């Protein structure tokens, strides 16, 4: 295997698509994975032999195994896995149905665990450069709490701490595991509905970002690209915020406006 090969879940749109595109520009061969076959068609439309689509459900053990097998079949192996697929959730801790908690945990936490488990046997056999790496898309909501987002907070907090634990367990195999923790990123499945249907909330969230703007998916992808590269060869078990400075503060005060 001479090329570097990555698998990216949740790659139909948003951060996942931006990551697949960024890694391809960095000369990775990429398997773009998503359950949304319609939006995953962008891969076929690109017409790039180094970029292939694979439709699967990340909550399925068989689906994760098949995605890894697709990478081996298409490109001969696997160097990096980016576990980005996720769903959002909001509601009262008193009244939100527990079935919603089950759904969010199944995708955001169990899906990550299954992705790591499926990748380990192949990553262990990978040699050469770049080294073997896993990146989990966590969230700043996995580092701190939010109002009426208890299920999402629990799922992302679990994913971030799972990444830390996996980093320790897999270090002896030379497999690095890190989490990237985005803040407010525009034009994603999480934020587009808010922008369309709750513009006041969308603007309020922006105003609490010290950099006074929403982030872009390609900015998160750039951090992921670093974490899977050999430039990050001694970085494992990290949870890296990409949030415009949100987690630098206490949240008690609105950040100052820029000076004219």
Tens digit of each residue's pLDDT (9 = 90 or more) over 57-80 = 999 999 999 999 999 999 999 999
Question: Of 152, 162, 202, 214, which is the active-site residue?
Answer: 152
Question: Under a CB-based contact definition with an 8 Å cutoff, are residues 71 and 5 in contact?
Answer: yes
| Tens digit of each residue's pLDDT (9 = 90 or more) over 84-117 | 999 999 999 999 999 999 999 999 999 999 999 9
Structure tokens at 15: 């951060």
pTM of the predicted structure, to 2 decimals = 0.94
| Active-site residue flag, 166 | no
3-state secondary structure of 237: coil
Question: Under a CB-based contact definition with an 8 Å cutoff, are residues 33 and 9 in contact?
Answer: yes
Q: Which domains does the chain have, with CATH numbers?
A: 4-244 (3.40.50.720)
Q: Is the peptide bond before 130 cis (omega within 30 degrees of 0)?
A: yes
> Pick from 134, 159, 9, 16: which is nearest to 81 by CA?
134
């Amino acid at each position: 295997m001479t090329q570097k090969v990555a698998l990216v879940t949740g790659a139909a749109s948003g951060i996942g698509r931006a990551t697949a595109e960024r890694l391809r520009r960095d000369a990775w061969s990429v398997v773009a994975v998503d359950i949304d076959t319609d939006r995953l068609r962008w891969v076929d439309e690109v017409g790039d032999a180094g970029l292939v689509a694979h439709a699967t459900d990340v909550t399925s053990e068989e689906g994760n195994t098949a995605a890894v097998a697709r990478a081996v079949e298409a490109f001969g192996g696997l160097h990096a896995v980016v576990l980005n697929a996720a769903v959002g959730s909001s509601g009262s801790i008193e009244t939100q149905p527990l079935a919603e908690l089950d759904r969010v945990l199944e995708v955001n936490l169990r899906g990550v665990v299954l992705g790591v488990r499926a990748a380990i046997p192949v990553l262990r056999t990978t040699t050469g450069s770049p080294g073997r790496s896993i990146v989990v898309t966590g969230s700043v909501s996995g580092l701190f709490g939010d109002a009426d987002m208890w299920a999402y907070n629990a799922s992302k907090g679990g994913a971030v701490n799972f990444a830390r634990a996996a980093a320790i367990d897999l270090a002896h195999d030379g497999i690095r595991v890190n989490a990237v923790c985005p803040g407010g990123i525009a034009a994603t499945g999480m934020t587009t509905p808010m922008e369309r249907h709750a513009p006041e909330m969308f603007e309020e969230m922006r105003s609490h970002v010290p950099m006074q703007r929403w982030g872009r998916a390609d900015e998160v992808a750039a951090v992921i690209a670093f974490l899977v590269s050999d430039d990050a060869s001694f970085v494992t078990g990290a949870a890296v915020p990409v949030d415009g400075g949100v987690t630098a503060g206490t949240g008690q005060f609105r950040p100052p406006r820029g000076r004219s």
